[in-house]
Structure 1
Amino acid sequence: MRTENKMNTIELFAGVGGFRVGLEKANPDMFKVVWGNQWEPSKKAQDAFACYTSNFIEGIHSNEDITKVSDESFKNLDAKLVVGGFPCQDYSVARSLSGEKGIQGKKGVLFWEIKRVIEATSAKYVLLENVDRLLKSPASQRGRDFAVMLATFRDLGYKVEWRVINAAEYGQAQRRRRVFIFATRNDSGFSKELESYEAEDILFEKGFFSPAFPVKHEVIKNRKLIGKLPEDIVEISDTFSALFHNSGYMEDGDFYSIHTEPVFEKPVLLKEILQPEETVPEKFYLSETAIEKFSFLRGAKKIERTSADGHKYIYSEGGMSPIDDLDKPGRTMLTSEGTTNRSSHVVEVDGKRRFLTPLECERLNGFPDNWTNTMSDRMRYFCMGNALVVGLIERMGKRIEQLEHKYMDEIPLQEKLFLNN
């Protein structure tokens, strides 16, 4: 049964709970994560799950292989919203040899678990996050994987809107670019409203994303793609390719994709998320040896290398500043943050160079301070490199709340009374 006055939510591949943090920031009285799953295969220490359980009390916390969770477990949750960040994998599909099971996806691909959860719950809304290369993968058949996903939502009875969002362009502290996918069930009030608009109007103004993340009302460089997905998902997997742009909409297999530019908002700067220097432990400061190493790693270079078959080639790499600009938002944080490699942030304060601290990395993603202090520094960096920017999810949560207010005819009476108070 749905918990009174709450939107029951399932959080898949939860990590340290970024979606939940953002939704609860949007409205802690509305969003209720009733089931959250986080499981790291082949690892004895489940650091992310331990962090999740230490920060959240309510709901079922699942630390198990999601492929082993029964459909009945999901059906009993009465979930209205499914959220999750999932790996960019190979989404190719094939027809089963016997034909009895219809279409089969590759084993171990977690998107098929998302599909299973949606089938079991008939959730009204689905909100997913992935790396933006998803729109172009695989390299040998551009757009195939995303088209398979779109066709899957079509077959499940959903409309889909997507947007690539750079967090720093919407007031956040990190230049982190990710694709967000919002699906709404065809019989929902919002879905029915979308049917009355042109696709371009949906992407510029009327859809899910633009009210929260405004864009310029123009198709940039006339980059536009209009098409229809084949009915047979195996045909999509075998032969379909398309160059999807950073914004798009799909309804009944018809898709419309354009390149949009954001209405830029002033970001949080790197210097604004630094903790007071006197509170930074000495271990985060760079030695002279490390400074020299970074100078090489971040400098321009051309190196002769030999491939496995003996072929010699020149590996070249452009240069970058030896220190990060404190008057800009942070660069995209990777799981290797805090180690001596080219991608780690290096800041210089009072003439001394250092790594960002784990607490500062939490701030780059918008988490509360010391959210991940249940684990080692190395794992804190790793989890933040995997996490999303929670400020974006907060905005999306507020957008979902707006839709629930707008279509109150779909909401039970007791929930209407709650939303109006």
Structure 2
Amino acid sequence: MSKKIKVAELFAGVGGFRLGLEGWNNKSATSGYEKELNSEYEVVWSNQWEPSTKAQHASIVYESRWGKLNHSNEDIASVDVTTIPDHDLLVGGFPCQDYSVATTLKNSKGLIGKKGVLWWSIHKILNEKENKPRFLFLENVDRLLISPSNQRGRDFAIILQSLNELGYAVEWRVINAAEYGLPQRRRRVFILAYHKTSEIYNQILESTPIEWILDKGTIADAFSISVENRKNYKSFKLKGDIVDISNEFNKGGNKSLFENTGIMINGEVSTIKSVPSYEGAHTILRDIILSGKVEDDFYINENELDKWIYLKGAKSHSKVNAQGFEYKYSEGSMSFPDPLEKSSRTIITGEGGKSPSRFKHVINTKEGYRRLMPVELERLNMFPDNHTKLDAILDTKRAFFMGNALVVGVIEKIGTSLQKKIDGTF
């Protein structure tokens, strides 16, 4: 095996990135943890901190699976960068927040964005590390590409320019896991970055942007796409520093400049709208549910069935806001019960608990209508069965974990492609 690819995992949650890169007991998520993954990744440091709760449940689960060694359970913003081991790959699913820049790095002695915005914790590590990680692998909600509403795409432009200033090229893609046969309809943007000291950076320089996006790139190797016309893409230069971009990028624009696929190198952005190209098998909800009767608490009481049906149904009625303005509120209907012959809807953090809800999954079984079990939610994210099951962890918290998690199979596929790119470059 080649030299290990050392990984630092930020915002680790219950370890979705780690499972995708290392596998579980050297087994692959996409094989149902039956086949060898042959991974060269090794997580050498991890961090998980939940600021809104005293009990650090996600960190407890993480430590129960991988141990406390080299795992940090403290606010990442307060971590001394010198205590983080050198690593080749920095990974994490960072929250989508307001990335606007408060001041310049020179004037703020390190603070360049709003306090508590976790992107700047990533930036701090990249900026202060003497031996910078040569690769980044990040995940976020797809609205990152269109936020905020008054400067569409500004937040992503800030991230791209800050990485550009640190010497990285970047490729990105919005991927809906179900469109590539995986069990959940979960759309997320995946971001890969390559430092100028890496061979992959040079490979990008030697390719045209469209060649990398569609054929030669890491994400293209993992998840094939097509476009109507290869020439139908936008290109533009990121102008000014990150303060300029924060203030001026696409000001007043009603549409983002970023499509769902793209690349940036030396401040030059190329982006195009792509569609998935996949003809393989699909995992559907029926494939992951437990057979037979499950715990009684998960069945819906007949007396509450009407509440569930109402919440799932279409509605249109008048509301009054805090200023006294009356407006019409409407929402469409949702499937009830959830169809077993399709991939699952997106899991949300409020999936757990008995109370009727518009967004919780409900299936119809021979034994009656019921919510999904924690192990079924884990399967929808391609985690090992009962990965989050501990005596101290309630089922509602296990559901919350999965609402915050990612589809492990996406990480595995991109990680496998990245590993192939990295091999031979040490």
Q: TM-score under structure 2 normalisation?
A: 0.90
Say yes or no: does 1:362 pair with 2:378: yes
User: Partner residue of 1:271?
Assistant: 286
> In the alignment, residue 88 of structure 1 is paired with which amino acid?
C
From 359, 368, 371, give the equivalent of 1:343.
Answer: 359
User: Partner residue of 1:229?
Assistant: 238
1:22-421 to structure 2, matched below 5 A, reads 22-25=20-23, 27=37, 30-57=40-67, 59-74=69-84, 77-96=85-104, 99=107, 101=109, 104-119=112-127, 120=129, 121-219=131-229, 224-241=233-250, 242-264=256-278, 265-278=280-293, 280-339=294-353, 340-350=356-366, 352-374=368-390, 375-405=393-423, 408=424, 410-411=425-426
> In the alignment, residue 363 of structure 1 is paired with which amino acid?
R
Count of matched residue pairs:
401
The separation in 1 between residues aligned to 2:309 and 2:290, in whole angstroms, is 25
Q: Given the superposition, is the C-alpha separation of residues 103 and 70 from structure 1 closer, same or farther in structure 2, using an over 3 Å criterion?
A: closer
From 10, 13, 18, give the equivalent of 2:11.
Answer: 13
Deviation at 1:210, TM superposition (A): 0.6
Q: What secondary structure sits across from 1:388 in the alignment? A: coil
- Checking the alignment, whether the CA contact within 8 Å between 1:103 and 1:234 is kept in structure 2 is no
Segment drifting more, 65-74 vs 112-121: 112-121
The separation in 2 between residues aligned to 1:103 and 1:16, in whole angstroms, is 29
Gaps spanning 5+ residues in structure 1: where? 412-421
User: Deviations along 1:40-71, whole A, 9 cap, x unmatched?
Assistant: 11311111000000011374111001111112
> In the alignment, residue 79 of structure 1 is paired with which amino acid?
H
Q: Cα RMSD between the aligned structures?
A: 1.9
> In the alignment, residue 308 of structure 1 is paired with which amino acid?
A
- Checking the alignment, whether the CA contact within 8 Å between 2:174 and 2:187 is kept in structure 1 is yes
Q: Given the superposition, is the C-alpha separation of residues 250 and 395 from structure 1 closer, same or farther in structure 2, using an over 3 Å criterion?
A: same
Q: What secondary structure sits across from 2:112 in the alignment? A: strand
Gaps spanning 5+ residues in structure 2: where? 29-36, 251-255
The separation in 2 between residues aligned to 1:95 and 1:320, in whole angstroms, is 45
> In the alignment, residue 192 of structure 1 is paired with which amino acid?
N
- Checking the alignment, whether the CA contact within 8 Å between 2:104 and 2:243 is kept in structure 1 is no
User: Partner residue of 1:419?
Assistant: none
Q: Given the superposition, is the C-alpha separation of residues 354 and 223 from structure 1 closer, same or farther in structure 2, using an over 3 Å criterion?
A: farther
Q: What secondary structure sits across from 2:351 in the alignment? A: coil
The separation in 1 between residues aligned to 2:62 and 2:285, in whole angstroms, is 26
Deviation at 1:303, TM superposition (A): 1.6
The separation in 1 between residues aligned to 2:48 and 2:103, in whole angstroms, is 30
Q: What secondary structure sits across from 2:152 in the alignment? A: coil
In percent, how many aligned pairs have the same letter? 46
- Checking the alignment, whether the CA contact within 8 Å between 2:135 and 2:194 is kept in structure 1 is yes
